[in-house]
Amino acid sequence: MGLCLPEVDMGSDYTSTTVRATVVQASTVFYDTPATLDKAERLLAEAAGYGSQLVVFPEAFVGGYPRGSNFGVTIGKRTDKGKEEFRKYHAAAIDVPGPEVDRLAAMAGKYKVYLVIGVIERDGYTLYCTVLFFDSQGRYLGKHRKIMPTALERIIWGFGDGSTIPVFETPIGKIGAAICWENKMPLLRTAMYAKGIEIYCAPTADAREVWQASMTHIAVEGGCFVLSANQFCRRKDYPPAPEYAFAGEELAPDSVVCAGGSVIISPSGAVLAGPNYDGEALISADLDLGDIARAKFDFDVVGHYSRPEVLSLIVRDHPTNPVTFTSASTKIEGS
């Protein structure tokens, strides 16, 4: 079993501290959010039993990644069946804030872990692929909305804006996240480096071997730990046909539809744990936070290795709302 590590004091030099981290590789219980939350708690309890202080779950773990579905969309047409699929998917999403967020916060506090988890967020009738952050005291810290869904993801998820690209300063390091192919966006990564990210969480749905190259590059580029969590799931982890169909495919129940590949990488590019392609698993490693300073001595992309007089970035980090209301009761000067 894992070594239990003490909570780090806020006033201590955490750069000389070791933090035990776990990435969860497991499947959603699709269309069943209460059962998915029950599963998340079992996995969180198991990780805490190993002494983990930080636990990262995959992209869209709560609400589900609708792999293989096209929601009945072709250019110029949407089918009634696809619209019904979206209704069910919308029903499985969660409100932020909401009761499911409260439960996740309580779980983080109960097991005294920092929790980073991918969810499908429902905001009215628009869905977002979102990551939620919780501290070990059971407090909800905030969220990151995926700013650029990939390919057909764009028909079901809205686009996040610059107001939800947080990096949270915690006693175990500065924690943030980018989701799946967002990690291929150099300017987004640069914004996160500028916020001082030290533990870079990368929930994903990409199980290809080439994903490992991206994760290693980000670790070395950012001088940060990279924790990538992906689901491992088989056809039988989704509802059976015709309730849920993989477009153009008939798959055997045991067919692997997402092979995982979850991994933890150090700021020097060393693979600390994983990648795992064998099934559902908890993948853990001890992070020596001193490795961040050692790596930054070589290369600090927003510090001594930058050239701001030549290359710079502006990030618009305010909310972008389609409608803005001004109060009709605002008093007019002199009236």
What residues have CB less than 8 Å from 307, skipping those under 6 apart?
A: none
Domains in the chain and their CATH numbers? 14-298 (3.60.110.10)
- The pair of structure tokens assigned to 98 is 């909401």
- Least confident stretch, 2-16, 164-178, 179-193: 2-16
What pLDDT, on a 0 to 100 scale, did the predictor assign at position 4?
Answer: 37
At residue 124 the predicted structure's pLDDT band, cuts being 50, 70 and 90, is very high
pLDDT band at residue 10 under the 50/70/90 scheme: very low
Weakest mean pLDDT among 8-12, 96-100, 154-158: 8-12
Residues near 74 by beta carbon (within 8 Å), at least 6 away in sequence: none
- CB distance 53 to 21 below 8 Å: yes
Mean pLDDT of 7-34: 81
11 — pLDDT class (breaks 50, 70, 90): very low
DSSP 182: G
Q: For residues 95 and 130, is the Cβ–Cβ distance under 8 A?
A: no
Determine contact, residues 119/61, Cβ cutoff 8 Å. Answer: yes
Catalytic residues: 59
Residues facing residue 127 across a β-bridge: 122
* Higher pLDDT pick, 26 / 335: 26
Burial of residue 164 (number of CB atoms within 10 Å: 0-12, 13-18, 19+):
middle
Q: HSE on the CB side for 286, CA within 13 Å?
A: 12
Share of the chain above pLDDT 70, in %: 93
Give the pLDDT confidence score for residue 278 in this predicted structure.
Answer: 94
Spatial strand order of the sheet with 262-265 comes to 167-170, 173-177, 199-201, 225-228, 262-265, 271-276
pLDDT (average), residues 52-71:
96
pLDDT at 40 over 60: yes
Neighbouring-strand partners of residue 25: 281
pLDDT band at 267 (very low <50, low <70, confident <90, very high): very high
pLDDT of residue 42: 98
Q: At what angle do helices 210-222 and 186-194 cross, to 10 degrees?
A: 40
d(CA 51, CA 178): 25
**Distance between CA atoms of residues 12 and 146, nearest Å:** 33
Half-sphere exposure of 210 (CA within 13 A, CB side): 4
Mean pLDDT, the chain, integer? 92
Check pLDDT > 60 for residue 3.
no
Predicted confidence band at 249 (pLDDT cuts at 50, 70, 90)? confident
Per-residue pLDDT of 186-244, as tens digits, reads 999 999 999 999 999 999 999 999 999 999 999 999 999 999 999 999 999 999 988 89
DSSP 145: E
Which residue(s) pair with 123 in the sheet?
A: 126
For residue 113, name the pLDDT band (cuts at 50, 70, 90): very high
Rounded-to-integer distance, Cα 130 and Cα 102, Å: 16
Residue 179: which pLDDT band, with cuts at 50, 70 and 90?
very high
How do residues 285-308 score in pLDDT, each as one tens digit? 999 999 999 999 999 999 999 999
